[in-house]
């Protein structure tokens, strides 16, 4: 399969919004290793610089997806794009009756409206037969208390992916990656003991007996980019979260 991936990505322009950390960065690394020309974008110029030093040959672009004018200007100068991946997101947790509306709006802007606008603006540069890959999350179809808002936003991203797969039929394939809990920098702000305890509890609940790694999600993204028969799909890379007891 690696040889197929190498053939399919060799010399292709892969744009990864959210490519400075976590699953996006892992996807950028694997794409570069498979011969792609990669552009990574995110809000933090410092993170982009650090990620580029780690990844190697990659272009960077400091872009805030919630700034529509900036997204339009950036997309207009991208040149030809073969695959667009939008892994950047935002999560706001809180009980339904307590989550501040501004937090909900911010999450909707970063996780749904931003990706919507970014895909729309990059579309004119997308080569026919290319792909768009969005990211949602397991809470879309297995909600949990204290994350109802996040689950609803994830579900919206999945609906967007399926709708665009129909609307862009013959133009581009559109899919969505739905990760379970994955060990990334997103949890770096937590005290290490609390983070490890959280990982252990989740691992025990999953059929695979552990949480995910960013590289495993990257493998799924590469498959979504390179499999020409895949569109309108939500890929659950979740360790069995949706089928656990």
pLDDT score for 157: 97
| CA-to-CA dists, residue 75 to 52, 112, 117, 219, angstroms | 20, 18, 10, 26
Q: Tell me how far apart the alpha carbons of residues 52 and 102 are, in angstroms, rounded to a whole number.
A: 33
Q: Max CA-CA distance within the chain?
A: 51
Q: Tell me how far apart the alpha carbons of residues 223 and 96 are, in angstroms, rounded to a whole number.
A: 36
pLDDT score for 10: 94
For residues 134-149, give the mean pLDDT: 88
Q: How confident is the model at residue 186 (pLDDT cuts 50, 70, 90)?
A: confident
pLDDT score for 147: 83
What pairing do the DSSP bridges indicate for beta strands 59-62 and 37-42? parallel
For 37-96, write each residue's pLDDT tens digit: 999 999 999 999 999 999 999 999 999 999 999 999 999 999 999 999 999 877 888 888
Q: Which residues contact 27 (CB under 8 A, 6 or more apart)?
A: 16, 19, 85, 87, 217, 218, 221, 222
Q: How confident is the model at residue 2 (pLDDT cuts 50, 70, 90)?
A: low
pTM higher than the cut 0.75: yes
| CA-to-CA dists, residue 107 to 34, 117, 214, angstroms | 33, 15, 22
pLDDT surpassing 80 at residue 188: yes
Structure tokens at 9: 């990505």
For residues 157-165, give the mean pLDDT: 98
Q: Where are the domains of the chain?
A: 2-183+214-231
Q: Tell me how far apart the alpha carbons of residues 138 and 119 are, in angstroms, rounded to a whole number.
A: 22
The yes or no reply on domain 2-183+214-231 and CATH 3.90.550.10 is no
For 202-216, write each residue's pLDDT tens digit: 999 999 999 999 999
pLDDT score for 224: 97
Q: What angle do CA 6, 8, 13 make, to 5 degrees?
A: 100
Contact criterion met (CB below 8 Å) for 90 and 106: yes
Phi, psi of 135 (to 5 degrees): -125, 135
Percentage above 70 pLDDT, the chain: 97
């Amino acid at each position: 399969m690696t040889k197929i991936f190498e053939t399919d990505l060799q010399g292709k322009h892969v744009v990864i919004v959210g490519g400075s950390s976590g699953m996006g960065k892992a996807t950028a690394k694997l794409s570069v290793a498979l011969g792609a020309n990669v552009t990574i974008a995110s809000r933090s110029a410092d993170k982009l610089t650090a990620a580029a030093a780690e990844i190697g040959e990659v272009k960077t672009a400091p872009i805030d997806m919630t700034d529509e004018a900036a997204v339009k200007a950036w997309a207009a100068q991208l040149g030809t794009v073969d695959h667009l991946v939008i892994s950047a997101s935002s999560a706001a947790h809180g009980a339904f009756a307590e989550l501040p509306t501004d937090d909900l709006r911010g999450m909707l802007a970063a996780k749904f409206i931003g990706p919507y606008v970014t895909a729309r603006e990059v579309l004119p540069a997308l080569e026919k037969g290319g792909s768009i890959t969005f990211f949602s999350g397991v809470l879309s179809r297995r909600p949990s208390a204290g994350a109802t808002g996040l689950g609803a936003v994830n579900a919206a991203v999945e609906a967007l992916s399926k709708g665009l797969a129909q609307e862009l039929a013959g133009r581009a394939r559109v899919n969505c990656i739905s990760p379970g809990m994955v060990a990334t920098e997103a949890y770096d702000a937590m005290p290490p003991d609390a983070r490890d305890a959280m990982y252990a509890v989740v691992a025990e609940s999953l059929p695979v007996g552990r949480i995910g790694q960013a590289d495993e999600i990257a493998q799924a993204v590469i498959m979504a980019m390179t499999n020409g028969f895949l569109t309108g799909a939500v890929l659950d890379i979740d360790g069995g979260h949706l089928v656990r007891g």
